Amino acid sequence: MSTRVCHRVSRPLDADVSIPGSKSLTNRALVAAALADGPSILSGALLADDVERMTESLGALGVAIAVDRADARIEIGGCGDFPVEEADLYCGNSGTTLRFLTAACATAFGRYRLDGSARMRERPVGALVEALRGLGARIQFEG
């Protein structure tokens, strides 16, 4: 077992701390920015696999996306809707990508197929789909 020694400081600390972003918050912001009218910039984005699945999927939907990994910055050309009316979107193992895009695509005028890893296909989305169907979305499961 390791021991950690903490020393009491004798003066106030003055420091800048950079805390990594959250993949869930980054994906939420990406969808909101994509559906907004006009450009948005996300700074301090967490550039994890889930976020990569989201940026790839939004790009497939016709949203302009530019990722600057060095600065953890993403530029999104919001277009108020998805310009592409038919797309296959691969969500990998990203639950946030699958759920957020299921809801976002349900508001668009088009046919979209969302898929993921074998593990993702086992995860529950039935409650979300039923809620969206209750609002008038036409959603079907394959396989």
In a structure prediction context, what are the per-residue pLDDT tens digits for the chain, which is 143 residues long? 678 887 777 777 676 656 567 899 999 999 999 999 889 999 889 999 999 999 999 999 999 999 999 999 999 999 888 999 999 999 999 999 999 999 999 999 999 999 999 998 988 888 999 999 999 999 888 86
Domain boundaries, the chain: 23-134
The span from the CA of 91 to the CA of 94, in Å, is 6
Helices within the chain (DSSP H only): 23-35, 49-60, 95-106, 118-122, 126-134
Return the amino acid letter for 72.
A
Q: 23-134 is classed in which CATH architecture?
A: Alpha-beta prism (3.65)
Q: What pLDDT sits at residue 7? A: 74
CA atoms of 23 and 66, how far apart (whole Å) = 17
User: Full-prediction pTM beyond 0.85?
Assistant: no
| 111-115 and 73-79 beta bridge pairing | unpaired
Q: How many CB atoms lie within 10 A of CB 1?
A: 2
Residue 95's pLDDT is what? 94
Give one DSSP letter per residue of 13-45, joined into a string.
-----PPP--HHHHHHHHHHHHHSEEEEEEES-
- Which pLDDT score is estimated for 3? 82
Residue 125 main-chain phi, psi, to 5 deg: -135, 5
pLDDT at 18: 60
- Read off the DSSP letter of residue 69: T
Q: Which residues contact 6 (CB under 8 A, 6 or more apart)?
A: none
Would you say 110 and 84 are in contact if contact means Cβ atoms under 8 Å apart? yes
pLDDT at 91: 96
